[in-house]
């Protein structure tokens, strides 16, 4: 067993399956003590089953690692605190929180139901805020007590959120919010010895398999395996990453990249008369860098 993350106490939400499972297994393989959180619900968030989290815990223990299961709903503010408390009480502290849990309820905007919007926003946005709030409060208290803090908050955005994908206004909005949350929290928490970074993962999982056109081959499964994402999360969780803060990393079997956020583009002096804005705006838009497509590269310029 590697000692890269030796004795780091890590919580991974949504770790019973898919990407989160790979995080938990790799962190444990590198010496971390892992709290495997998973509500065990369906892809749309319905239902609950501690079985998937327990299975990952048993797999970690069979390999000689340390892990415990947690089945809380991370969007429940009180339950999220209990999860943080469980880690501290079981292992004597907390070093890393990986907010990974999520659901999908895809629908075009004109067909989307209020419940589909609310459920996705709750799981992704509040499900990031709630554990992050309680973990940050724990780390700040330690820092103010004069104890050394070398903590990591690792969130999960999506290329749908940072680049935009049709049919996912709810999911994309939540994920864009998490990217902004990451940047802001990184500036707030740095003083306490906490770094905050974010992953935009790309992989074939039970959430995404049926979104793929055509037959999924073995080669595709390997190229888009969630195992390719776990290394950057494990590195960010380690002590070695203390100088990296406020960044969004795109990670998949095809690429590892740093996503660059919004920057001010072409600009002009303020204009009082709206009737004169037509050519001015068009000139700015033509001069501006194009919006990115789902591949992270220029797609459209905002002019029909």
Just list the catalytic residues: 171
Pick the closest to residue 50 from 37, 34, 66 (CA basis).
37
| Sign of the torsion formed by the C-alpha atoms of 52, 57, 61 and 64 | positive
Backbone angles phi, psi at 116, to 5 degrees: -70, -35
Question: What one-character DSSP code corresponds to residue 160?
Answer: I
The CA radius of gyration of the chain, in Å to the nearest whole number, is: 20
HSE, CB side, 13 Å, CA atoms: give it for residue 48: 7
In this structure, are residues 77 and 13 in contact, taking their beta carbons and an 8 Å threshold? no
| Sign of the torsion formed by the C-alpha atoms of 136, 142, 143 and 149 | negative
């Amino acid at each position: 067993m590697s000692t890269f993350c030796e004795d780091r106490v890590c919580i991974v939400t949504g770790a019973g399956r898919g990407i989160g499972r790979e995080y938990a297994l790799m962190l444990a393989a590198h010496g971390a003590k892992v709290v495997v959180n998973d509500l065990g619900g369906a892809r749309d968030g319905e239902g609950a089953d501690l079985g998937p989290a327990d299975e990952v815990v048993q797999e970690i223990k069979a390999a000689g690692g340390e892990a415990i299961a947690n089945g809380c709903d991370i969007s429940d503010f009180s339950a999220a605190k209990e999860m943080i408390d469980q880690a501290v009480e079981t292992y004597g502290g907390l070093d890393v929180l990986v907010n990974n849990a999520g659901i999908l309820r895809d629908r075009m905007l004109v067909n989307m139901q209020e419940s589909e919007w609310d459920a996705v926003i709750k799981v992704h946005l509040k499900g990031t805020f709630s554990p992050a709030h309680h973990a940050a409060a724990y780390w700040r208290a330690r820092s103010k007590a004069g104890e050394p803090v070398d903590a990591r908050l690792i969130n999960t955005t999506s290329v749908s959120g940072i680049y935009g994908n049709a049919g996912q206004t709810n999911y994309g909005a939540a994920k864009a919010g998490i990217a902004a949350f990451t940047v802001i929290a990184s500036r707030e928490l740095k003083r306490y010895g906490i770094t905050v970074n974010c992953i935009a993962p790309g992989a074939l999982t039970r959430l995404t398999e049926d979104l793929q056109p055509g037959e999924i081959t073995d080669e595709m499964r390997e190229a888009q395996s969630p195992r390719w994402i776990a290394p950057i999360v494990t590195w960010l969780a380690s002590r070695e990453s203390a100088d990296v803060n406020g960044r969004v990393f795109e990670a998949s079997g095809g690429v590892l990249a740093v996503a660059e956020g919004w920057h001010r583009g072409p600009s002009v002096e303020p204009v009082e008369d709206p009737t004169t804005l037509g050519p001015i705006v068009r000139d700015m838009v033509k001069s501006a860098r194009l919006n990115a497509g789902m591949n992270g590269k220029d797609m459209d310029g905002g002019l029909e």
